[in-house]
Amino acid sequence: MTPEEWVRVHVLRYLTEGLSIPGVMIRCEYPVSMNNQPQRADVVVCSRDGQPRMVIECKAPTVALDDAVLSQAVRYNSILQAPYLWITNGLTHRCYQLSATGGYLAMDRLPSTSALHLFTSPATHTDQ
């Protein structure tokens, strides 16, 4: 197992055991077509109707979470349009919320499962 895979396994465990997100709502190696080039987001959490709600980019613990890592997740999300991004190297975690203007706002914690609107329509609630 590579260091990045180790981080991904722990992210998946946190999502399923820590946040109780059903495994069927978590997609690994989610295909993203960019400029007719196949790419893959590491992990995407989807709502029950299949809409991406959070894009997760995992890196090895030795990789700094710099602008290049955030840019990679933002590129994927330019196609997926999930309201949240989470970048992690297993030691450091950064989460961002897509703003109404298309920018990203840094968050001080991961969104709650209710804010992800996995089981409800975001149009009926206000993101927390």
* Per-residue model confidence as pLDDT tens digits over 54-82: 999 999 999 999 999 999 999 999 999 99
98-115 pLDDT per residue, tens? 998 989 999 999 988 888
Q: Count other Cβ atoms within 10 Å, centred on residue 12.
A: 18
Question: Which pLDDT does position 128 carry in this prediction?
Answer: 43
Number of helical H runs and strand E runs in the chain: 3, 6
Domain boundaries, the chain: 3-112
Average pLDDT along the chain:
90
Look at residues 120, 42, 126 and name the one whose alpha carbon lies nearest to residue 80. 42
Question: Which pLDDT does position 123 carry in this prediction?
Answer: 58
The CATH-assigned architecture of domain 3-112 is: Alpha-Beta Complex (3.90)
